[in-house]
Structure 1
Amino acid sequence: MSTRAQEENNQTSGYASTFQIVVFRLGDEEYGISIDQIKEVVITPTITRVPQKPAFIKGVANIRGNIIAILDLEQKFGLQKTEETMPSNNNFTLVIDSNEYKMGVLVKEVPNTLTISSSAVEDFIFTGDGNVEQSYIKGIVKLDKRLIIMIDIFKVLSQQEEQQIFKKQTISI
């Protein structure tokens, strides 16, 4: 096939499609979330602890009039030990807003946005302990000497954790 025919084939097949991700650090690694899954990035407001929630749920915060659960993915993923209460003046929160629930993800540095080619993403195949659920890892982005772990934030929580965290309370009178 000629070079021109290959270029036309790549354009029509969507081979070189690009998309944007928000990149942030957890522990010593870089993670990325599709920009479509993030509503906004804000300075982390005061977090109010909530009893009887998983340890990786730092509590709830009021962001633009919405009360949202604040997640610490470093603790959820077991990447490093975090302080019991993280100072909110040096952290940022990625606000995730879906039809089912609103939540925030703590990050320590200002996240950045990258436009990447779909060809830079390799599928992730986990070959370790079969008891560990890692379907939230969508792939690994290779950029020069960087590896960025792509996650689907809507798959990070198990169904049981979602029910425990976001269960709507009904009050009978």
Structure 2
Amino acid sequence: MSVTTITETRQYLTFKLDDEVFAVDVAKVREILELTSITKVPQTPQFMRGVINLRGSVVPVVDLRLKFGMSETAPTVDTCIIVVEVAHEHETLVLGALADSVQEVFEMEPGQVEPAPRIGTKLNTDFILGMGKHDGQFIMILDIDRTFTSDELATAGSVSGEAA
């Protein structure tokens, strides 16, 4: 998906990672949870923090800060888990994403979203749907379906399958 595919006003959930503000389409968000105990799963990528029990279902939890090359998320009173639905190979995978804090939900018109900047040829920015501006601040709008590679999602899917 790209900015050109955004043809209608959409609602986005904004959240912070370090000092940066990110957003994800609310249609992809299932719920927001307070930080809970995360069970580590051996031999998974560093950004895969483990799994949680969500009403009897095993949900893999990823640390978006680590995924994006930042320092590990430190637990605070505001740290939360955003439970999202990610499309992967004709099925929907449920993932928990650690965030430093959740900000707000707001609407953006298609004209308020600009294409993601191209930063050289070696840096993959395909997971950034576009750049929005809200209250004078840039917001990176994530294409959550493209934030993780197929291999990473396969690992997450197998983690939730094994733990079940």
TM-score normalised according to structure 1 size: 0.78
Q: Deviations over 1:71-93 (max 9, x none)?
A: 111110012x226xx44764211
Q: Is the 8 A contact 1:68 1:103 kept in 2?
A: yes
Which residue among 71, 78, 83 is the counterpart of 2:69?
A: 78
* Rounded Cα–Cα distance in structure 1 between residues aligned with 2:161 and 2:97: 27
The two structures, once aligned, show a CA RMSD in angstroms of 2.4
Q: Is the 8 A contact 2:16 2:100 kept in 1?
A: yes
2:110 aligned with 1:122: no
What residue is the counterpart of 2:93 in the other structure? 101
What residue is the counterpart of 2:149 in the other structure? 158
Q: How does 1:5-154 map to 2 (within 5 A)?
A: 17-79=8-70, 81-82=71-72, 86-87=74-75, 90-98=78-86, 99-128=91-120, 130-154=121-145
What residue is the counterpart of 1:7 in the other structure? none
What residue is the counterpart of 2:3 in the other structure? none
Q: Is the 8 A contact 2:32 2:80 kept in 1?
A: yes
TM-score normalised according to structure 2 size: 0.82
* Rounded Cα–Cα distance in structure 1 between residues aligned with 2:54 and 2:78: 16
Q: Is the 8 A contact 2:14 2:104 kept in 1?
A: yes
Instruction: Report the identity percentage.
Output: 26
| SS of structure 2 residue aligned to 1:103 | strand
Q: Is the 8 A contact 2:18 2:100 kept in 1?
A: no
Q: Which has the higher contact order (CA 8 A, sep 6+)?
A: 2
What 5-or-longer segments of structure 1 have no aligned partner? 1-14
* Rounded Cα–Cα distance in structure 1 between residues aligned with 2:96 and 2:103: 14
Is the radius of gyration larger for structure 1 or structure 2? 1
